[in-house]
Amino acid sequence: MDEDRPIFQQIAEQIENDIISGVLPEETQVPSTNEFAAFHRINPATAGKGVNLLVDTGILYKKRGIGMFVASGARARLKAQRAHQFSERYVRPLLLEAEKLGITLDQLATMIQKGTTR
């Protein structure tokens, strides 16, 4: 766990990652709050807060008496959301670092192309 963000946000993000990567397919059950708590060694209430964050946004839904499930269409929605944040989270720091090192935009573009064709 990172120190700089609330743990429940990190839990939510990890579940999101697992949905995006396909580890948790749609309409399958996610681990229980207590299982998350034991695995990450965190307070169960905190784990519950992370799960509820995803219930509130409709990524997970509750089957009464059974547990939490991944909603249909959750993967596409999460991917769209992440694409939206891509610039802020990755491109901006990249440009800042390039500027600091005096790497021009053209050089950067070449580097990116090399990176993708490798």
What does the binding site for another protein look like in residue numbers (CB under 8 A)? 1-8, 34, 37-38, 40-46, 49, 92-93, 96, 100
* In the complex, minimum distance from the CB of residue 66 to another protein, in angstroms, rounded to a whole number: 18
* In the complex, minimum distance from the CB of residue 96 to another protein, in angstroms, rounded to a whole number: 6
Q: Which is nearer to another protein, 38 or 76 (CB)?
A: 38
Phi, psi (rounded to 5 degrees) for 4: -90, -10
* In the complex, minimum distance from the CB of residue 27 to another protein, in angstroms, rounded to a whole number: 26
C-alpha 16/C-alpha 44 separation (Å) is 19
Q: Which is nearer to another protein, 54 or 71 (CB)?
A: 54
Q: Which is nearer to another protein, 44 or 67 (CB)?
A: 44
**Helices 7-21 and 74-86, axial angle in degrees (round to 10):** 110
C-alpha 24/C-alpha 20 separation (Å) is 8
For the record, the structure tokens of 117 come out as 């064709």
